[in-house]
Amino acid sequence: MAKVRISDGILEGEKIKNEYGGTYYSFKGIPYAKPPLGDLRFKAPQPVEPWDGIRNASKFGPISYQNDVFTTKAILGQEDCLYLNVYTPDLAPNKPFPVMLWIHGGGFICGSGNDDMYGPEFLIKKDVVVVTFNYRLGILGFLSLETDDIPGNAGMKDQVAALRWVQNNIENFGGDPNNVTIFGESAGGASVSYHLISPMSAGLFKRAIIQSGAFTCSWAKCLRPRDRALSLAKKLGCYTEDDKEVAKFLKSQPMELFVDPKLTITAAENNKIIMQLCVGVVSEKEFGDSERFFYDDLKLNIHEDVEVVIGYCEHEGAFCLYSGVKNIADQLNMYPEYFVPTPIAYSSTISEQLDIGKIIKKKYFDDEIISEKDVEKLIDFFTTDQFMYSAIVLTRMIARNKNKVYLYKFSCKSKRNFNAKICDVENVLGDKIYVCHADDLAYMFPLKLLLQDVKTNTKEYHMIETVTKLWTNFAKFGCPTPDNSFNVQWLPYTMDKKSYVSIGDTIVADNNPREDEVIFWDKIYARHFPHYVF
């Protein structure tokens, strides 16, 4: 057993033998905010109430209430979910360790920081402190009535509370509060990118790693959130539009009614079979002195001196085929506006959407009828539309802001690539190994829920060692390749060189990824989002 005193009381954790070498200390289920229950539902997190005596920190706290659509397919969790976990190689090191705080993905609707997916075993071998945590998800975390009572972004403010907790307490675990790297994937990656610009997050971290998600993604911002909140109230039986009555009604409902409602507000959204996120980060209205996490007139300036790694997986778009290639192809053939990214659709007429959709379809499918034989083209389209282009856009923003930024394409291929199977698209992809959305996770975390232990003398373990060294090098030094250990120098992205690397069996340096596609999408976005295009 190991004891640590933090600002709220004394914790008793465990010393754990790492099956991949060495030992580490584990402290689980640490409350970082007050349980968001009763009138605190939908509100910003409040400070923890200190405890007397010694708190057992050997078990995880409850996870956020959710329908886990990606892994267990089960309804899990509780509203009382604001807990974090700290793993450290040593409680009293000669020099404080760099800290890596993981923000889990899951489309803002599911996931947790628990070690069934995100255990520290691979990363902690590289002498870093690893922090994982839960934040409110779905309606409980992201509903917005655009009022002072339900302003939105509660889940993002939970993340800020976890970052503030790290600043106040991580020294007690051997971590360096002045060297914190936040990293996350998918909705977690988008979250990390929002922290780069949110006034609430300024000064709380030094570095950031953004994996397969960004605030520039078409799915990363919730549009017309008040309409969605009122739609939810009506579905549950409340037909008034009086703000106070709606808020009172929604706070009084059992959490079970919030787990899986479809908050679509247009016929097109309702009928579209491609995955859509109806909750997420919103533009907050101003209410007195209340802190706002994100708002539309916020200048998109990256926090000064923050260093960034950002990238995407080679075949991200395979994930988008989970509804069935034939079903998706039929809709794309019938309705060309389905090609149009959501932010552009919301700022375009139906006529403009039809024209833009036809241009995009011609680019990827040459006016041909789309069928199941076009899997590769569909993957290319969805990879660029949902992930790659937005990563390039954000990379350019960061570079123009004079922050150091490293761009990558993730290309590791092995039997640890799991998500094609999870998404049930293996049958249409054949024997080829695809680097699907989220496959990078398997080279950073054990993913015990999905994968078996990896042997240390295998190709897979070599890739794990490569990826975790790149990520922890960046956390330690601000550069993924500070020496010659990889026989390649990963150069920062600049507006003239556009340097990036492909991370696979080896690390390959290159320039200007998917140049033709980026130019094409620049033209698509130029009219409606000119600040995206450089």
Helix (H, G, I), strand (E, B) or coil at 181: strand
Cα–Cα distance for residue pair 450/453, rounded to 1 Å: 10
Beta bridge partners of 66: 76
| DSSP code for 22 | S
CB of 321 closer than 8 Å to CB of 424? no
Concerning whether 316 is annotated as a catalytic residue, the answer is yes
Helix (H, G, I), strand (E, B) or coil at 29: strand
Concerning whether 198 is annotated as a catalytic residue, the answer is no
Q: Please give the full DSSP string across 86-121, using - where no structure is assigned.
A: EEES-SS-SSPEEEEEEE--STTTS--SSTTT--SH
Which member of 121, 284, 316, 337 is catalytic? 316
The count of other CB atoms within 10 Å of the CB of residue 534 is 12
Which member of 26, 112, 144, 186 is catalytic? 186
- Pairing between β-strand 97-103 and β-strand 129-133 as defined by DSSP bridges: parallel
Which member of 195, 303, 315, 437 is catalytic? 437
Cα–Cα distance for residue pair 437/423, rounded to 1 Å: 10
Cα–Cα distance for residue pair 263/242, rounded to 1 Å: 19
CA dihedral sign of residues 328, 332, 334, 337: positive
Query: How many angstroms separate the Cα of 450 from the Cα of each of 46, 72, 103?
Result: 35, 10, 19
Cα–Cα distance for residue pair 7/5, rounded to 1 Å: 7
Concerning whether 304 is annotated as a catalytic residue, the answer is no
Helix (H, G, I), strand (E, B) or coil at 135: coil
Cα–Cα distance for residue pair 335/473, rounded to 1 Å: 47
The catalytic residues are 186, 316, 437
